[in-house]
Structure 1
Amino acid sequence: MGLVTAEGRKVGAIGSDPSTIAPGSVVVVRDEEWLVRSTEETSDGLLVTAQGLGELVRDTEATFYAALDKIVPLDPAAGVVIADSSPQHRTARLWLESTIRKTAVPLGDQSLTVSARALADPLSYQQSAVRKALDPANLRPRILLADAVGLGKTLEIGMILAELVRRGRGDRILIVTPRHVLEQMQHEMWSRFALPFVRLDSAGIQRVRQKLPSTRNPFTFYRRVIISIDTLKSDRYLAHLSKQRWDAVVIDESHNLSNASTLNNRLARVLARNAESLILASATPHNGNPQSFAELIRLLDPTAVRPDGSLDEEEVARLVIRRHRHSPEVAGVVGADWAERQEPQNLLVPASAAENVVAQELGDVWLRPVGGVSPYSGQASGLFPWALAKAFLSSPAALRETATERRRRLGSGPAADAERSALTHLIELTDAATTTSSAKYVRLVEHLREVGIGKGSSARVVVFAERIATLRWLQDHLPKSLGLPTGAIEIMHSGLPDEEQQRVVEAFKQESSAIRVLVTGDVASEGVNLHAQCHELVHYDIPWSLIRIEQRNGRIDRYGQKFPPRITALLLETDAQTFTGDLRVLTRLVEKEHEAHGALGDVASLMGRYDVKAEEEDIRKVLAGERDLEDVVRSVEDVTEADDLTGLFFRMFDEPQTPATAPQPPQALTTATNSGLYPDEVSYLDDALHAAYIDPSGPVSDRGVMWRRDDAFGTAELVPPRDLVQRLEVLPQTYLADRQVTSRLVLATTPARGRLRLAAALTDTSMSSWPDAHFLGPLHPVLEWASDRALATLGRNEVFAVRGEVDAPTVLLLGTLTNRRGQVVSAAWLTAQFPDMENIAFAIMTPHESVAAALAECGWQGKQVNAGPIGGAQDLTALIRPAVHKARSQMRDVFAAAETDVASRVARWSEKLDGWDAEAGALIQRNELRQHRVRVEQERELVEAMNPDRQLVRPLVVVVPQNFGQIRGGVQA
């Protein structure tokens, strides 16, 4: 049958009238009240996501389809006024503050709200990246964060995600990273932005499998997930992902997506199609191939690449943000928080006699044999000898492993027998070199002692080497040579389980850790932060790739490095004439990387290969004398003047900017979402706890809660109740146990205290980089928990009446304009004042710029005196209907400009889509274009859904003069 509103309009299942529901409205489903968080028109009808308000569903989030459930909206005009009798109007104040916190910031608002109050340094270049991502002209936040190594792309990601959450666009988030940085990403999102993510590493996935049936989609189980790309790209998860919609997807190291024939790209296309917001991050955003870069850009916006495959430079500039250490926008703000790198230190190491014999053998027999034929009996005979040479330059142990493995795989026959004999002789010579002291190893030990490695010293060094055999050999021998326990030398390489890799990285960050030397392979060269306790890095062997050298150096040369990072390379110098040339070439590689670091911010463009393996092959040819180094590695000047993708990038992002195009000073931070009802987060939480529990500061009792607040020290402690514990269980089990989070949650209540405890986590003896006191940021789950409890204090369709500094009864109202995706396009705060209670048809309607301004108009900011229950509060119910009706009428004018603005932006996007489609018409016979056209059509559907289609007006509170309806001696004043 449905319900009938006070206006006589029949309302039943929402499918018949979708305009009656929007985020912020209250609906009744299955005889329980729910606060609508979002709505979306789907192919199956209206989908409503809501938070439970009633006692039975208070901590429940649910989704309802109008086609399946009877969803009845409560008519705001039929609200019933009740008096708030709580001390200082605490109940009403909490309810109002919670409602404000749950009201999404409009999509078009580029102001920084919660991200500016997170636990991160307020760097203007990072804030500009966030504003660019939130630019309303883009309709959907989609961006490629292409900042060079060390600028803090992870923080930029966290800032963007925090702002999306505050805008109601970040409920479901997926972050995809390399597996060795899973915990690092999870740690940053939680410790700085209070965003809890579940980490689905190998152990996390196993836990989910134990909880879910094999047929259940695991990505519906958690709202916010961090997972490795290696795990996610398998066929096992593709079907689940294709059915899962995300509010935001982040893909780190996204340069690995550009090859359209790979599993990585297949995964990215599925995620891009099912995500509204997409953030790609890579310090090497292109590989020099316009087609590959175009594929990356299409993930963000398929129309940014013309149908003929060419790039639209204006669109690229809109979608990509690129800065480096020496960009004016960066250099002017990092200051002492990013110490300048020292000149690279190349240490020439004369080979030992035994090593010279090995080098001579490699040169005479394998690299430049008499007659031009090496003993190698396999295919690609020019490559394997250089594999031996590269292994030798790493260590005798690596050479022995390479030669032994090759010998093991040989078959039978004269050619194989000849190679086997040559390999056996080489292994014997290598064993002789191994039993004596390796010259490079001796020099490494000397260098480590020179920089302070030894007993009683806190100095630390990262030593990079390519070969696992070299890493193991160093780990075995360094403790004895340095007089250190075995635990002081840790090893990390790609063969270790992901949990072990994460453990080593986290331990190295700890000041109390016993690790003094981290011996690592190139698995640690991407994305890992190693600068917390270390500013010394050694290339034990030099990669034949500029990209790899830069990636390694970026582990300690990054924002937050307080000491000038020093890069040292060990270069083996042999006497063998047939094994020469490598010293000069490898020395120049180190110097070229340093030069490009200062001028370009990255080195990939110097060789123009944008691929480690391709660079290695070019350097091999240089070492073999087949090419000149100058032909393979360009100068900085050649790069900046090139008429290719590298030159385009330089002109778009690196070229000195004119005043007209230079980055503008950061805008003032918004206060639009700060109500003024509470001075800070902890005061709000304190009030919420005292409202929910009689004496939360007393001893823990059956209620399972205890609360202590120490403003002088900047901390608070809470024994969390069971329903709050459930919200924290996605965090690492080790963190919850080590810091006793679920039994004693310690909060840092000021940013200064939060930074102090975050830094202290790297210096205490807990061996955990997770802080013992977590910063109470504006998005903290404990505040969300408090909000949900406060919102449940009102009965069905009730409105609080409170006293304030007003001359006449005044109704505070909130109006929102939303689109078909259920997102808030615009919001307005109004007050309706009724100077004559006898003539309620007359009301003075006043729009306000912010909620704080509206509350100031009501004389209702901060704590208020409640002289007693408001007598005759039920009479104020008569004000609600005219206030809502007048507000609706005024909202049409207030929102007209916002509707016009959005409509014009949607029209511009539609025109762009039409233009792309028209260009594609003549080329549609191309198979790859048909696929792109499908993606453009999907884009068109998304664009259409951005048009506003409904308004909602809600009465929030009725404020009356201080002497209104006072009860004195049983008589109403």
Structure 2
Amino acid sequence: MTKTTINTFAAGARISTRGEDFLITGITENYDGSMLLDAEGISELVKGKRFKFDTKLDVDIQVLDPAKTKLVADTDSGYRRTKLFLETQLRNSTHYGDKIHVAHKAAFNFSEYQLDPTLKAFKLPRPRLLIADGVGLGKTIEVGIFLAEMIKRGKGKRIMVLALKSILGQFQQEIWNRFAIPLVRLDSHGIAQIRAELPANKNPFEYYDKTIVSIDTLKNNAKFRHFIEKSRWDIIVIDECHTVANSNSQRGDLAQFLATRCESLILTSATPHNGKKETFANLIQMIEPTAIPRSGEYDKSDVEPYYVRRFKQHILDDKVRSNFQDRRIVPIHCEITPEEEEFLNKQQKIKFEALKSIHLETEKNLFDESTRKEKRDLLFSIGLFKSYMSSPSAALESINRRIEKIKEKGKSSENANDNIHLLEDLQSDLIHILHNQKDSKYQAFKDRLIELGWSGRSKDERIVVFAERIDTIKYLSENLKRDFDLDDESIETFHGGLSDMEQQALVEDFGKKDSKIRILLTSDAGSQGVNLHYYCNTMFNYDIPWSLITLEQRNGRIDRYGQTETPVIHYLIATSDTEGLRTDFHILENLTRKEEEVYNSLGDAASVFKLYDSKAEEAKVEEAIMDQNEDFFFGFSAPDVSDDDLFGGGSDVTNSFVTPDPVASELSLYESDGYYYKDLIEQLKAERLMGYDEAEFVDSTYLEVRNTKELDRVLFDLPKESKPSLKDIYRLSLDKNTVQNAIVEARKKKGEWAKFQMLYDLHPVIRFLMTKLEASVDKEVALVSRHGKIPVGTAWFVIHGQVSNNLGQSVISDFFVVPMKLSGGLHKQPLSLRDFISQFEVNQTLLTQYIDQEHLDTLTEMLPDVIDFAKLMHMDQKQQIKQLEMEKQLAVYQEKLKNWEKSAQDHLELTFADVPQTGFIRRRKEDEIRYVETIFSQSSQYFKDLNSLNNEAHLKVIAAFYNL
């Protein structure tokens, strides 16, 4: 190792300082010519951690010289140490290419469609994508696959997931149980723990590399906002991203900012747009700012590279389809009681009188205060009808609040919604219905429960009930407790007013076999993202939401991937022969029929109205009820948007990127993962790097590792629920069924997490053990083996070559072999490590032979030539080929960027051409010019750095094989 000058520093270079080794990831030149070096640790004590060095202060920084590698004889039986060290280097190295390398080994039922988002993301310059698969297809699994592959590529060290507060625990547990990727949960409890454990000025996003947090927590916590402004991530995931599509909202503003703080961005949503081009464009612009023209006019060719979207019908794999059950729909028609008829006739009278007056005023072309009054009455009647369709209790609470408000003002009027006498009359009707138990829908609901043999006891099936109004949920809770003699543990309510901890606790409890909850009453806060299908296949839509999107989301809580029983979905539907009411009830029933029709054909409920927004759909149903149009579903067309507008015609469904052979073939010196892990454990024990009682293979597929103080300290950021106590054990298995059965078993008991995790390279325990093995070989040391199957008089040097771009990202990582004559000179052209292993059977049992010091000296003298040949005859060629490939990519992108800039400038000129140049307009124009210039400049420089390979290849000698 030789001391070097500042000019030799380059992104990707390996350096040594303060007794440890680092990889330079970025360089900033100071005003005085010195440099600030961003670096990542690669030796044991600093591995994976990030540092910044100032060459003015750290004067001992040295670039590692591979020609000065010390060669040491391997004396282990069968050269086990050499094979293990080489194998560990292979497994710990970054992998590239457009195939799957490790995620297929995780604990999920492998299906090629789930690989599509990751494979498509890898086709982009930056892996950033919107996953917009339909409800229940397993977007969390698809996110896990992406995270696993990025970690394998060395680009997933720092991860932040943003999810709804109700599913933080669910998401965290799924990613850990299936992929062994630890996320620190920053809910209110997690934040309280951080405040207790970390200094007040300590940035939790720097202390914890992988976190999961609610976007509302970040939005509402000023200190957290301060912390994220000082942080960067390799990957940010935003689940249910439609909640951040509005860039003018606090959530949207925060999401737009976070998109600039990460290399990779994954957005997920089953409802990725609300039909407005600008909101969908906001999501795509987070992924790639230059994808959407500044005019806002785009077609499918602009956005298609940045999202994937499929529905159940598009999944042809029979094994996958077997994880979905054919659901059963049970409509329950409730003939309303005379008391309800009387109340609703009054509601209908208000509606028809308002409509009649509005039509009359419209014909006369009179639009005065009376017209506005009638419109208010019409809206009041529709609101009253909607609240009653939820429950008479919800309608009563609505009337009570209205009466209270009028009394506070001390002013009544002839308007229906301000007429104290009318309101009190309606109030009296509702009190009578409730007091005398004349609620037909509740009676039908109760009868159905009795018919099912349900009494709320521990042996009874578990049921989820959706209702729109919290007042209805309270009403149901009170009545069910009374009628079925239920205790507080048997019935629970879920709604948006609960804290994050309360919501997570309820979701987890309901999904456990030992849960005492027999019936979960939930508002639509439980309709997005929440898994309710574990041990539950019966659902009631107590009221019918006036939106197909909401209805589809509700039903998807139990009708989803992994449901083992037939989902049974009940609709409670009011009926009446009274004119007007009959039509209104039919309209609501048609909603359920249309959702079922879509489910059996199109797959996307939003495609019916093409409004892509639940609130907009509710407004459209209101119009149908006003117009008494029960056929409004048929021939419906939305004036604001169509598929042509959003996606350039046809469907928003995307084509698959999965190739016939999507999983990369493994390069290994071992017959199986199990053999490698066994040798790894035995070697660590032999070298006394772990105690003999700290790890044990129980059989060929199952490993137990004791949680020591050292391991517990290193793995401080694992989810607390997943960590065994000190001296207890981690249970790791190579068998997917064992792990998946453990996941199922964990659902039987509240508070339990899966006792088994996958035994594979990404598990933090395995990564810890592999790091210990790497550290057992001293820095700048390569092991030497004498192998009788290679040609006599030759030596074969195994080299790892790496080249980084100007961003410090490794883009070439290659293991190859340089064959030399012991007498001097090159024996033949360098060859791949794969060919070397295959040709000389290095992966077979090797015979240990004596290695003389003289032989080591001869090999050491050859190292400078080996390094020269490695650079000139292998790495330089690889670098040239890669550079040409990257230059083509850069040229394509620069052309696209120039077109975007030109289009933006043309749009700018057109927009402000005939507008008076007031101060406000000038500022707007200047802001737009500045935005375009910033995006162009930043994007241009980023892609130049991304596609630059001007840096020198950095080589490391891993091992040497020779024969005399």
Please give the TM-score of this superposition, normalised by the length of structure 1.
Answer: 0.88
Distance 1:900 1:665 in 2: 25
Residue of structure 1 equivalent to 2:382 = 386
Q: Which moved more, 1:466-475 or 1:497-506?
A: 466-475
Superposition pairs of residues 293-692 of structure 1, within 5 angstroms: 293-327=280-314, 329-330=315-316, 334-342=320-328, 344-364=329-349, 368=353, 380-410=376-406, 411-415=408-412, 419-437=419-437, 438-451=439-452, 453-454=454-455, 455=457, 457=459, 459-482=461-484, 484-574=486-576, 577=579, 579-625=581-627, 628-631=629-632, 633=633, 644-645=644-645, 648=648, 650-651=650-651, 653=653, 666-676=660-670, 679-680=673-674, 682-683=677-678, 685-687=680-682, 689-691=684-686
Q: 1:796 to 1:716 in 2, by over 3 A?
A: closer
Partner letter of residue 292 of structure 1? Answer: T
Distance 1:549 1:937 in 2: 46
Q: Does 1:785 align with 2:768?
A: yes
Residue of structure 2 equivalent to 1:893 = 877
Contact map agreement 1:48 1:64 (CA 8 A) in 2: yes
Choose which of 259, 263, 272 in structure 1 pairs with 2:259: 272
Distance 1:482 1:331 in 2: 44
Contact map agreement 1:77 1:884 (CA 8 A) in 2: yes
Superposition pairs of residues 695-774 of structure 1, within 5 angstroms: 696-698=691-693, 706-711=694-699, 714-736=701-723, 740=725, 743-763=728-748, 766-768=749-751, 770-774=753-757
Distance 1:377 1:335 in 2: 54
Contact map agreement 1:146 1:283 (CA 8 A) in 2: yes
Q: 1:223 to 1:481 in 2, by over 3 A?
A: same
Distance 1:619 1:741 in 2: 59
Q: Which moved more, 1:318-327 or 1:513-522?
A: 513-522
Distance 2:775 2:355 in 1: 88
Distance 1:662 1:196 in 2: 30
Choose which of 284, 292, 298 in structure 1 pairs with 2:279: 292
Contact map agreement 1:124 1:333 (CA 8 A) in 2: no
Choose which of 229, 237, 240 in structure 2 pairs with 1:242: 229
Q: Does 1:74 align with 2:64?
A: yes
| Corresponding residue pairs, total | 916
Q: 1:695 to 1:939 in 2, by over 3 A?
A: closer
- Give 1:91 deviation, angstroms: 3.5
Q: Deviations over 1:106-164 (max 9, x none)?
A: 2xx011011111111211111122211111xx211011111111111111111011111
Q: Deviations over 1:334-390 (max 9, x none)?
A: 231112333x33211012343333323433457757996999999944433332222
Choose which of 845, 860, 864 in structure 1 pairs with 2:842: 860
Partner letter of residue 145 of structure 1? Answer: I
- Give 1:664 deviation, angstroms: 5.8
Contact map agreement 1:164 1:170 (CA 8 A) in 2: yes
Please give the TM-score of this superposition, normalised by the length of structure 2.
Answer: 0.88
Distance 2:518 2:637 in 1: 41
Superposition pairs of residues 198-217 of structure 1, within 5 angstroms: 198-217=184-203
- Give 1:894 deviation, angstroms: 2.7
Distance 1:913 1:720 in 2: 52
Distance 1:685 1:585 in 2: 67
Q: Which SS does the other structure have where 1:355 is aligned?
A: helix
Q: Which SS does the other structure have where 2:955 is aligned?
A: strand
Partner letter of residue 768 of structure 2? Answer: W
- Give 1:590 deviation, angstroms: 0.9
Q: Which SS does the other structure have where 2:67 is aligned?
A: helix
Q: Which SS does the other structure have where 1:586 is aligned?
A: helix
Residue of structure 2 equivalent to 1:152 = 138
Residue of structure 2 equivalent to 1:969 = none
- Give 1:865 deviation, angstroms: 4.6
Partner letter of residue 442 of structure 1? Answer: Q
Partner letter of residue 775 of structure 1? Answer: M
Superposition pairs of residues 162-177 of structure 1, within 5 angstroms: 162-177=148-163
Distance 1:370 1:822 in 2: 68
Choose which of 899, 905, 917 in structure 2 pairs with 1:915: 899
Residue of structure 1 equivalent to 2:922 = none
Residue of structure 1 equivalent to 2:93 = 103
Choose which of 9, 18, 32 in structure 1 pairs with 2:9: 18
Q: Deviations over 1:2-35 (max 9, x none)?
A: xx73xxxx5145xx3223x627x3x3222x1224
Q: Which moved more, 1:309-318 or 1:234-243?
A: 234-243
Contact map agreement 2:547 2:618 (CA 8 A) in 1: yes
Q: Which moved more, 1:79-88 or 1:852-861?
A: 852-861
Q: Deviations over 1:277-297 (max 9, x none)?
A: 111111112221222222221
Distance 2:538 2:296 in 1: 45
Q: Which SS does the other structure have where 1:119 is aligned?
A: coil
Contact map agreement 2:183 2:719 (CA 8 A) in 1: no
Residue of structure 2 equivalent to 1:702 = none
Q: Which SS does the other structure have where 1:283 is aligned?
A: coil
Structure 2 gaps, min length 5: 359-369, 912-924
- Give 1:778 deviation, angstroms: 2.3
Partner letter of residue 617 of structure 2? Answer: E
Q: 1:694 to 1:901 in 2, by over 3 A?
A: closer
Partner letter of residue 428 of structure 1? Answer: S
Contact map agreement 2:879 2:949 (CA 8 A) in 1: no
Q: Does 1:943 align with 2:926?
A: no
Choose which of 275, 281, 284 in structure 1 pairs with 2:268: 281
Contact map agreement 1:190 1:196 (CA 8 A) in 2: yes
Residue of structure 1 equivalent to 2:248 = 261
Q: Does 1:33 align with 2:20?
A: yes
Contact map agreement 1:375 1:419 (CA 8 A) in 2: no
Q: 1:62 to 1:494 in 2, by over 3 A?
A: same
Q: Which moved more, 1:892-901 or 1:578-587?
A: 578-587
Q: Which SS does the other structure have where 1:880 is aligned?
A: helix
Residue of structure 2 equivalent to 1:703 = none
Q: 1:593 to 1:243 in 2, by over 3 A?
A: same
Distance 2:342 2:403 in 1: 20
Contact map agreement 1:124 1:665 (CA 8 A) in 2: no
Contact map agreement 2:127 2:265 (CA 8 A) in 1: yes
Contact map agreement 1:306 1:312 (CA 8 A) in 2: no
Partner letter of residue 887 of structure 2? Answer: A
Q: Which SS does the other structure have where 2:339 is aligned?
A: helix
Contact map agreement 1:254 1:280 (CA 8 A) in 2: yes
Alpha-carbon RMSD: 3.1
Q: 1:441 to 1:451 in 2, by over 3 A?
A: same
Distance 2:94 2:658 in 1: 27
Q: 1:220 to 1:304 in 2, by over 3 A?
A: same
Residue of structure 1 equivalent to 2:107 = 119
Distance 1:578 1:866 in 2: 93
Partner letter of residue 4 of structure 2? Answer: V
Contact map agreement 1:58 1:789 (CA 8 A) in 2: no
Q: 1:304 to 1:60 in 2, by over 3 A?
A: closer
Distance 1:675 1:134 in 2: 28
Q: Which moved more, 1:718-727 or 1:266-275?
A: 718-727
Contact map agreement 1:182 1:502 (CA 8 A) in 2: yes
- Give 1:540 deviation, angstroms: 0.2
Q: Which SS does the other structure have where 2:312 is aligned?
A: coil
Contact map agreement 2:464 2:519 (CA 8 A) in 1: yes
Residue of structure 2 equivalent to 1:968 = none
Partner letter of residue 515 of structure 1? Answer: I
Q: 1:456 to 1:198 in 2, by over 3 A?
A: closer
Q: Does 1:826 align with 2:817?
A: no
Distance 2:319 2:393 in 1: 46
Partner letter of residue 784 of structure 1? Answer: R
Choose which of 799, 806, 815 in structure 1 pairs with 2:790: 806
